[in-house]
Structure 1
Amino acid sequence: MSVGLLLATLQVGAVELYRYVDESGAVVFDRHGVPPHLIGSGYQVLNDKGRVLRSVAPAPSAEERQRLQQEAEQALADARLLRLYAAVEEVDAAKLRKLSQLDSVSGIARSSLRAVNRQLQRLQVEEQRLLAEQQDVPESLRQQMLNLRQERLGLERNVESYRAARLAAEVSFTSDRERLAVLLGGLTPELVVD
């Protein structure tokens, strides 16, 4: 059936006609709609005169969806940066504040760790003395040593987490600085220097 004859037949009633491409690549006109498995390929809706009322674009491919998702995430990150900072120097100042804060809490944790090690060392000396004199080591001494060892493990984990946080902050602020320079000045990341 030709398109002209089909359209002439459709003029009797005001119906919509769907135009799509089927699996074999043939253009199909159908008044019942597009088969569900072909909707993602895109289609057009025509009026009874053969004019396009609306077009439905093909669904994006997996790669295109991923690219669009990445672009949306980058746009959100860029908007966040522009809300936080008006100049690259503000990123530098924020970085210094954050690193100073992390250095401070890390210093406190390292100081506490040294104090715990000194206490544990004193108790170990006392334990060795009692054993050398063939005396029983009191349970309270053993418990104190156990508590100090557990405290030491926690402090060591804290010191390590502060070190990791400092490294992450340096990377994050460097990245933010480079991106902000691009957003504010149109520079390419290769041209941004500290």
Structure 2
Amino acid sequence: MRHGLGWGLALLFPFAALAAPPPPVQLYRYTDDRGVVVLDRQGVPPEFISKGYQILNAQGRVLQTIPPAPSAQETQAASARRARAEADAKLRARYTGVDDLERARQRQLGEIDGRISLTRGDLQTLQGQQASLQGEAANQERNGQAVSAGVLDQLEALRQRRADLNAQLQRYQQMREDADRAFNADRARLEQLLTP
């Protein structure tokens, strides 16, 4: 019977040798809210994770350093750098050089100037129509008549149309200023990018 027990132990011994070793001991080093450095086997409490921490082995060697989460300012600065890089890439893809940019500026400003010119022409036309209607209204009054409702309605319609065209003219002028400003900024940046 002893022989049987020994034989059973001999059979189990190789399997015991194959069993996985216990996991290595790891320590977590972090700084708490009082500024005290803490070593903990359980991990880092959630409220301190964003401050960064280190994972150490049982001998105190650093296995891994987890950096602090970036601050709002750092995140904003990184976002601004990414946006600037994307804008620069688009600018370089859009224009081969400063001359190309200047041609695009002339085209776009020329289109806006054309709209401004047409709107001013429409305003002059309306001004002539308004002067004609006002003359007609004045003739009716000189003849002792009340100004007809048709003339008054036409004058009001012309007044409204002139107000709309003046607002449109202001929008075009603002559009031209904005486009010119944007082209100036693009030119300055493109010159920086193309300077070796």
Q: Please give the TM-score of this superposition, normalised by the length of structure 2.
A: 0.80
2:179 paired with 1:183: no
Residue of structure 2 in register with 1:85 after alignment: 95
* Partner of residue 23 from structure 1, selected from 22, 33, 55: 33
Residue of structure 2 in register with 1:114 after alignment: 124
User: Are the structure 2 counterparts of residues 149 and 29 from structure 1 closer, same or farther at C-alpha, using a change threshold of 3 Å?
Assistant: same
Residue of structure 1 in register with 2:133 after alignment: 123
Higher alpha-carbon Rg: 2
Map Cα deviations across residues 142-182 of structure 1 (whole Å, 9 max, x no partner): 22111111110111111111111111111111111111111
Which sits farther off after the overlay, 143-152 or 64-73?
64-73
Residue of structure 2 in register with 1:67 after alignment: 77
Residue of structure 1 in register with 2:113 after alignment: 103
Q: Give the CA RMSD over aligned residues.
A: 2.1
2:159 paired with 1:152: no
Secondary structure, aligned partner of 2:55:
strand
In the alignment, the residues of structure 2 paired with residue 23 and residue 70 of structure 1 have an alpha-carbon distance, to the nearest angstrom, of 31
CA positional deviation for 1:47 = 4.8
Residue of structure 2 in register with 1:189 after alignment: none
Map Cα deviations across residues 124-159 of structure 1 (whole Å, 9 max, x no partner): 121122122221322222221111111101111111
Q: Please give the TM-score of this superposition, normalised by the length of structure 1.
A: 0.81
In the alignment, the residues of structure 1 paired with residue 133 and residue 25 of structure 2 have an alpha-carbon distance, to the nearest angstrom, of 93
In the alignment, the residues of structure 2 paired with residue 178 and residue 84 of structure 1 have an alpha-carbon distance, to the nearest angstrom, of 15
Look up the equivalent residue of 2:85 and give its one-letter code.
A
- Residue segments in structure 2 that go unaligned for 5+ positions in a row: 1-20
Secondary structure, aligned partner of 1:18:
strand
4+ runs deviating over 6 angstroms:
none
Map Cα deviations across residues 36-58 of structure 1 (whole Å, 9 max, x no partner): 32222111234556554433211
Q: How many equivalent pairs are there?
A: 176
